[in-house]
Amino acid sequence: MATTSTTGSTLLQPLSNAVQLPIDQVNFVACQLFALLAAVWFRTYLHPSKTSSFIRHVVATLLGLYLALFCFGWYALHILVQSGVSYAIMVIVGAENMHSPVMIITQKITSLAYEIHDGMFRKDEELRPSQRDLAVRRMPSLLEYLSYNCNFMGILAGPLCSYKDYITFIEGRSYHVAQAGADGKEKPHREPPEPSPNGAVVQKLLVCGLCLLVHLTVSDMLPVEYNIDAHFQATASWPTKVVYLYVSLMAARPKYYFAWTLADAINNAAGFGFRGYDRNGEARWDLVSNLRIQQIETSTSFKMFLDNWNIQTALWLKRVCYERATWSPTIQTFILSAIWHGVYPGYYVTFLTGGVMTLAARTMRNNLRHYFITSPQLKLLYDVITWMVTQIAVSYTAVPFVLLSIKPSLMFYSSWYYCPHIIGILVLLLLPAKKTQRAKNTHENMQLSQSKKFDDPESSWGQNSFSTTNNVCAQEPASRHSLLKQ
């Protein structure tokens, strides 16, 4: 019989027993499927053209709180308490003083704290383009704040979105596309046909079904824990250990693919997630997407893997830590990521190891890559080798994240004689460190800031400089706000 240990509803206990899955997992999936249906209803019957933003806020909030109560029972009070306390701090203490004390709570609260701080208490010339884009210029009302934090579309599995994007969606301004003429000037605005998310939703649900099938059939056959099995360690050859490490960690990913893709589909079904149109005129529904599976599995660098894995969390880490850190932003960002994930020692081992691996991979790339781009054959060889190295390095780094405890984590690393750690440290010590793009950008921004003092102050408003960022150290290829009229 499946476990009955839950603080949430036990209404689905018979189903839990039938499918032999824990009741909390059954509740989660059931609530997400309910949220998917509710999202379709929300987009159809509570469309911005049919009802007010107030009603949309209220319904989204109440449905979200109900789902939290169903899944977590009285534990759902934690969501209300942390949201209420944070809002009280904003109103009573002042937003200029509240961004630091709430760093210990949720992504949305800390993101909004910094967005308010950037919008109300910093000068525009002090902000990066992405910070200027997301800055909030007025204090949210309590209803707006609760709706942003507790809406039914993201209360169980996210993903994180910016406050401005959410309010734009609630108010029905997501589809207002700026029409540009041949001379580059904006044409008189005309209302375009509203794009349908149905195709994107169906595609993502098919991906969900496939990932769930793989998780239920394959994942249990390739447990990560077998990497530290005494018999396996004593008898398996090194090639076997390397191959099993890779396939066991690859088999552990579909459950994340399932949860994040389903959450993305729910948001899209409600009409949230529209990012504009691509060059072919096709609607893009990836504004709040949390992963890109194909890019993850074909990553040829540690950075490329991180760019496409848990994207919204990476954006959060970049916005609240990496861009604001005064020393060693990469290490600080990985430490914050470990703290945010929880108290298990395995999280800290993984993210500290990840910091070393990221710095070493960046150094290797800066020193070696230019030798391999002189011909297609060498470039292909480089891509094959870096794919193999990246997948093994990522798998090696992530094992403690799955094992959680410190003893099995160190047991695994010691079975590999800490070789990747040693190689990474040697790379950092022996190879010259080149100036990173972040440092170059910082230097250029300082020069630009100085030059603006002698420019017409209104000239900086004549161009659309909005852009978002895609990871802790990477810039997103295209700005959503260059496509969406604010």
Catalytic residue set: 310, 341
Cis omega (within 30 of 0) for bond into 195 = no
Maximum Cα interatomic distance, the chain, rounded to a whole number of Å:
74
Which of 53, 177, 163 is closest to 108 using CA atoms?
Answer: 163
What pairs with residue 276 in β-bridges? 284
What tokens appear for 237 in the block?
A: 């050859």
Q: How many CB atoms lie within 10 A of CB 179?
A: 11
Contact 312, 154 (CB under 8 A): no
Contact 25, 4 (CB under 8 A): no
Alpha-carbon span 105 to 128, nearest angstrom: 24
**What is the distance in angstroms between the CA of the first residue and the CA of the last residue of the chain?**
53
Which is it for the CA torsion 229, 231, 232, 234, positive or negative? Answer: positive
For 253, residues 6+ apart whose C-beta sits below 8 A from its C-beta are: 296
| Residue recorded with tokens 């509803």 | 9
